[in-house]
Amino acid sequence: MALIFTVLDGRRHNREDFTCGVAELDDYLRRRAGQHQRDGIATTHVLIDDAEPVRILGYCSLSAAQLHLHELREDDRKRLPAYPVPAIRMGRLAVSNTKQGRGYGQLLLGHAVNLAVSVRQTMGVRVLIVDAKDERAAAFYEGFGFRRTASAALTLYLPVGSS
């Protein structure tokens, strides 16, 4: 058994059997993730076990974004020009009901951070943004160093790479 991250492939990955307990997240994977990928809106990265590669254990969706400079904490604004900050948005993160509590959410988050750091090497990216579903989710992200934005309590950001 080896866990692998890969980009969603609707012909290969079974989206219909994925259930995380949040209807909106299940629906996104089943009905919109593929379309968003084809349209260049977001990519969905799935976590699979190489022994059963059609089964999705969890996923996160990523897209290009920006964050207004005033949304960053004052110490995070140092040396930045006065225009929106380039970002990557993790729009959704979900883990299958059968795999919750095993650290897969942390693995997916780490994957998103690693991708943001990798993109930063070839293109401007300053922060990874998440829109937490609720306070419990916000606390999860804060546990990994995310900071709340100035105006939206459930939008958080993580500086990417060296400052």
Residues serving a catalytic function are 141
> Euclidean distance between the first and final Cα of the chain, in Å?
38
The 10 Å Cβ neighbour count of residue 138 is 19
* Structure tokens, 78: 């140092």
Between β-strands 85-95 and 52-67, what pairing exists: parallel, antiparallel or unpaired? antiparallel
8: amino acid identity, one letter:
L
Largest distance between two CA atoms of the chain: 49
- Give me the residue label for tokens 């904490």: 73
